[in-house]
Chain A
Amino acid sequence: KAGVTQTPRYLIKTRGQQVTLSCSPISGHRSVSWYQQTPGQGLQFLFEYFSETQRNKGNFPGRFSGRQFSNSRSEMNVSTLELGDSALYLCASSFSGGSYEQYFGPGTRLTVT
Protein backbone atom coordinates (compact mmCIF):
# COMPACT_ATOMS: atom_id res chain seq x y z
CA LYS A 1 0.00 0.00 0.00
CA ALA A 2 1.18 3.50 -0.71
CA GLY A 3 1.81 5.64 2.33
CA VAL A 4 0.44 9.04 3.21
CA THR A 5 1.38 11.65 0.64
CA GLN A 6 1.51 15.40 1.12
CA THR A 7 1.85 18.14 -1.45
CA PRO A 8 3.65 20.36 -1.86
CA ARG A 9 6.71 19.35 0.15
CA TYR A 10 8.05 22.89 0.41
CA LEU A 11 6.35 26.25 0.20
CA ILE A 12 7.46 29.84 0.64
CA LYS A 13 4.79 32.48 1.18
CA THR A 14 4.65 36.12 2.21
CA ARG A 15 2.89 37.48 5.29
CA GLY A 16 -0.77 38.15 4.62
CA GLN A 17 -1.10 35.54 1.88
CA GLN A 18 -3.06 32.34 2.20
CA VAL A 19 -1.94 28.77 1.56
CA THR A 20 -3.57 25.40 0.90
CA LEU A 21 -1.86 22.13 1.74
CA SER A 22 -3.01 18.73 0.54
CA CYS A 23 -2.91 15.26 2.06
CA SER A 24 -3.82 11.89 0.56
CA PRO A 25 -4.30 9.20 3.19
CA ILE A 26 -3.46 5.52 2.99
CA SER A 27 -6.03 3.72 0.86
CA GLY A 28 -8.99 2.66 3.00
CA HIS A 29 -8.25 5.10 5.82
CA ARG A 30 -11.15 7.41 6.57
CA SER A 31 -9.52 9.67 9.13
CA VAL A 32 -7.03 12.44 8.45
CA SER A 33 -5.44 14.49 11.22
CA TRP A 34 -3.23 17.54 10.85
CA TYR A 35 -0.39 18.58 13.14
CA GLN A 36 1.92 21.57 13.24
CA GLN A 37 5.55 21.02 14.24
CA THR A 38 7.76 23.93 15.29
CA PRO A 39 11.03 24.03 17.26
CA GLY A 40 9.42 26.10 20.00
CA GLN A 41 6.02 24.45 20.44
CA GLY A 42 6.77 20.94 19.24
CA LEU A 43 3.99 18.87 17.73
CA GLN A 44 0.54 20.36 18.13
CA PHE A 45 -2.77 18.98 16.93
CA LEU A 46 -4.75 21.11 14.50
CA PHE A 47 -7.83 19.08 13.59
CA GLU A 48 -9.14 15.70 12.53
CA TYR A 49 -11.55 14.84 9.73
CA PHE A 50 -13.42 11.59 9.55
CA SER A 51 -15.76 10.76 6.67
CA GLU A 52 -15.81 14.41 5.56
CA THR A 53 -16.74 15.75 9.03
CA GLN A 54 -14.48 17.61 11.41
CA ARG A 55 -14.46 15.40 14.47
CA ASN A 56 -11.90 17.09 16.68
CA LYS A 57 -10.17 20.45 16.77
CA GLY A 58 -7.09 21.77 18.51
CA ASN A 59 -6.45 25.18 19.95
CA PHE A 60 -5.61 27.17 16.84
CA PRO A 61 -7.15 30.40 15.55
CA GLY A 62 -9.87 30.40 12.93
CA ARG A 63 -7.31 31.28 10.24
CA PHE A 64 -6.57 27.56 10.19
CA SER A 65 -9.25 25.52 8.50
CA GLY A 66 -9.59 22.24 6.71
CA ARG A 67 -11.87 19.97 4.81
CA GLN A 68 -12.08 16.40 3.64
CA PHE A 69 -13.40 15.09 0.37
CA SER A 70 -15.43 12.00 -0.35
CA ASN A 71 -12.27 10.12 -1.38
CA SER A 72 -10.79 10.92 2.09
CA ARG A 73 -8.22 13.33 0.70
CA SER A 74 -7.90 16.37 2.91
CA GLU A 75 -6.79 19.95 2.53
CA MET A 76 -5.87 22.48 5.14
CA ASN A 77 -5.91 26.21 4.56
CA VAL A 78 -4.19 28.98 6.43
CA SER A 79 -5.34 32.50 5.68
CA THR A 80 -3.60 35.80 6.45
CA LEU A 81 -0.28 34.11 7.05
CA GLU A 82 1.93 35.27 9.93
CA LEU A 83 5.64 34.71 10.43
CA GLY A 84 4.81 32.36 13.30
CA ASP A 85 2.99 30.04 10.92
CA SER A 86 6.33 28.89 9.55
CA ALA A 87 6.41 25.21 10.45
CA LEU A 88 6.37 21.64 9.25
CA TYR A 89 2.75 20.62 8.71
CA LEU A 90 2.18 16.93 9.12
CA CYS A 91 -0.80 14.93 8.08
CA ALA A 92 -1.62 11.52 9.54
CA SER A 93 -4.15 8.95 8.45
CA SER A 94 -5.90 6.29 10.45
CA PHE A 95 -8.47 3.65 9.65
CA SER A 96 -10.61 4.03 12.72
CA GLY A 97 -9.86 7.60 13.64
CA GLY A 98 -8.85 9.25 16.86
CA SER A 99 -5.30 8.59 17.94
CA TYR A 100 -5.30 4.88 17.12
CA GLU A 101 -2.47 3.84 14.77
CA GLN A 102 -1.84 7.09 12.99
CA TYR A 103 0.54 6.95 10.03
CA PHE A 104 2.23 10.17 9.06
CA GLY A 105 3.17 11.70 5.75
CA PRO A 106 6.52 13.41 5.07
CA GLY A 107 5.09 16.84 5.82
CA THR A 108 4.94 20.19 4.06
CA ARG A 109 7.58 22.70 5.11
CA LEU A 110 5.99 26.16 5.05
CA THR A 111 8.17 29.24 5.31
CA VAL A 112 6.49 32.62 5.75
CA THR A 113 8.64 35.67 4.97
Chain B
Amino acid sequence: GEDVEQSLFLSVREGDSSVINCTYTDSSSTYLYWYKQEPGAGLQLLTYIFSNMDMKQDQRLTVLLNKKDKHLSLRIADTQTGDSAIYFCAHGGGRRALTFGSGTRLQVQP
Protein backbone atom coordinates (compact mmCIF):
# COMPACT_ATOMS: atom_id res chain seq x y z
CA GLY B 1 0.00 0.00 0.00
CA GLU B 2 0.97 3.64 -0.32
CA ASP B 3 -0.79 5.22 2.67
CA VAL B 4 0.81 8.14 4.44
CA GLU B 5 -0.58 9.14 7.82
CA GLN B 6 -0.17 12.38 9.73
CA SER B 7 -1.83 13.84 12.77
CA LEU B 8 -4.30 16.57 11.85
CA PHE B 9 -3.37 19.38 14.17
CA LEU B 10 -0.49 20.72 16.27
CA SER B 11 -0.45 23.84 18.40
CA VAL B 12 2.74 25.35 19.84
CA ARG B 13 3.83 28.60 21.39
CA GLU B 14 6.12 30.98 19.53
CA GLY B 15 9.76 30.19 20.28
CA ASP B 16 9.10 26.54 21.08
CA SER B 17 10.11 23.63 18.86
CA SER B 18 7.48 21.90 16.72
CA VAL B 19 7.64 18.26 15.78
CA ILE B 20 5.39 16.98 13.02
CA ASN B 21 5.22 13.24 12.52
CA CYS B 22 4.42 11.04 9.56
CA THR B 23 4.22 7.30 8.98
CA TYR B 24 4.17 5.57 5.62
CA THR B 25 3.75 2.04 4.39
CA ASP B 26 5.66 1.91 1.10
CA SER B 27 9.14 0.67 1.98
CA SER B 28 10.39 1.15 -1.59
CA SER B 29 10.26 4.95 -1.33
CA THR B 30 13.50 6.59 -2.34
CA TYR B 31 12.78 10.16 -1.33
CA LEU B 32 10.68 11.57 1.49
CA TYR B 33 9.57 15.17 1.39
CA TRP B 34 8.11 17.89 3.53
CA TYR B 35 5.97 20.53 1.90
CA LYS B 36 4.36 23.63 3.44
CA GLN B 37 1.07 25.13 2.28
CA GLU B 38 -0.12 28.54 3.41
CA PRO B 39 -3.75 29.63 2.93
CA GLY B 40 -4.61 30.22 -0.70
CA ALA B 41 -1.19 29.13 -1.90
CA GLY B 42 0.44 26.18 -3.58
CA LEU B 43 2.90 23.80 -1.96
CA GLN B 44 6.36 24.98 -1.00
CA LEU B 45 9.10 22.36 -0.96
CA LEU B 46 10.76 22.70 2.44
CA THR B 47 13.23 19.84 2.50
CA TYR B 48 13.67 16.21 1.58
CA ILE B 49 15.70 13.24 2.66
CA PHE B 50 16.96 10.20 0.81
CA SER B 51 15.88 6.87 2.20
CA ASN B 52 19.48 5.88 2.96
CA MET B 53 19.86 8.80 5.38
CA ASP B 54 18.81 9.01 9.02
CA MET B 55 18.86 12.75 9.50
CA LYS B 56 19.09 15.98 7.57
CA GLN B 57 19.43 19.46 9.02
CA ASP B 58 18.65 22.63 7.11
CA GLN B 59 18.76 25.81 9.21
CA ARG B 60 15.79 25.59 11.60
CA LEU B 61 14.54 22.37 10.06
CA THR B 62 15.61 18.88 11.11
CA VAL B 63 14.28 15.79 9.37
CA LEU B 64 14.58 12.42 11.07
CA LEU B 65 13.92 9.15 9.25
CA ASN B 66 13.43 5.80 10.92
CA LYS B 67 13.27 3.49 7.94
CA LYS B 68 12.69 0.38 10.03
CA ASP B 69 9.52 1.88 11.55
CA LYS B 70 8.68 3.85 8.36
CA HIS B 71 8.48 7.00 10.46
CA LEU B 72 9.46 10.48 9.33
CA SER B 73 9.48 13.63 11.43
CA LEU B 74 10.05 17.31 10.85
CA ARG B 75 11.33 19.44 13.70
CA ILE B 76 11.09 23.21 13.43
CA ALA B 77 13.29 25.00 15.94
CA ASP B 78 12.29 28.39 17.37
CA THR B 79 8.86 28.24 15.74
CA GLN B 80 7.54 31.60 14.54
CA THR B 81 4.02 32.80 13.73
CA GLY B 82 5.03 32.76 10.07
CA ASP B 83 5.43 28.99 10.35
CA SER B 84 1.67 28.61 10.80
CA ALA B 85 0.54 26.55 7.82
CA ILE B 86 -0.35 23.03 6.76
CA TYR B 87 2.62 20.67 6.47
CA PHE B 88 2.49 17.70 4.14
CA CYS B 89 4.67 14.65 4.24
CA ALA B 90 5.13 12.92 0.87
CA HIS B 91 7.11 10.05 -0.55
CA GLY B 92 8.12 8.90 -3.99
CA GLY B 93 10.87 7.40 -6.01
CA GLY B 94 11.94 6.76 -9.58
CA ARG B 95 9.19 7.64 -11.99
CA ARG B 96 6.42 7.28 -9.44
CA ALA B 97 4.35 10.29 -8.50
CA LEU B 98 4.36 11.81 -5.05
CA THR B 99 2.01 10.27 -2.50
CA PHE B 100 0.93 12.78 0.11
CA GLY B 101 -0.31 12.54 3.64
CA SER B 102 -3.44 14.42 4.65
CA GLY B 103 -1.44 17.27 6.16
CA THR B 104 -0.84 18.60 9.68
CA ARG B 105 -2.14 22.05 10.50
CA LEU B 106 0.43 23.86 12.64
CA GLN B 107 -0.89 26.73 14.73
CA VAL B 108 1.70 28.96 16.40
CA GLN B 109 0.41 31.00 19.29
CA PRO B 110 2.15 34.27 20.13
Contacts and interface: CB of A to CB of B under 8 A. Distances in A.
Interface of A: 4, 6, 33, 35, 42-43, 45, 48, 55-56, 58, 90, 92, 97-107
Interface string B47-90: 01000000000000000000000000000000000000000101
Given A100-B92, A104-B44, A48 B97 contact: yes
Contacts of B43: 90, 92, 104
Given A35-B98, A104-B42, 11 more contacts: A42-B102, A45-B98, A58-B97, A98-B92, A99-B33, A99-B90, A99-B97, A102-B45, A104-B45, A105-B42, A107-B41
A100 B31 contact: yes
Nearest to A47: B97
Contacts of A103: 45
B100 interface: yes
A55 B97 CA distance: 10
B98 A99 contact: yes
A106 B97 CA distance: 19
A56 B100 contact: no
Nearest to B101: A42
A103 B100 CA distance: 14
Contacts of A104: 35, 42-45
Contacts of A4: 42
Nearest to B102: A42
Interface in B90-110: 90-103
11 contacts: A4-B42, A6-B42, A55-B95, A58-B97, A98-B93, A98-B96, A98-B97, A101-B48, A102-B45, A106-B42, A107-B42
A5 to B, nearest CB: 10
A42 B100 contact: yes
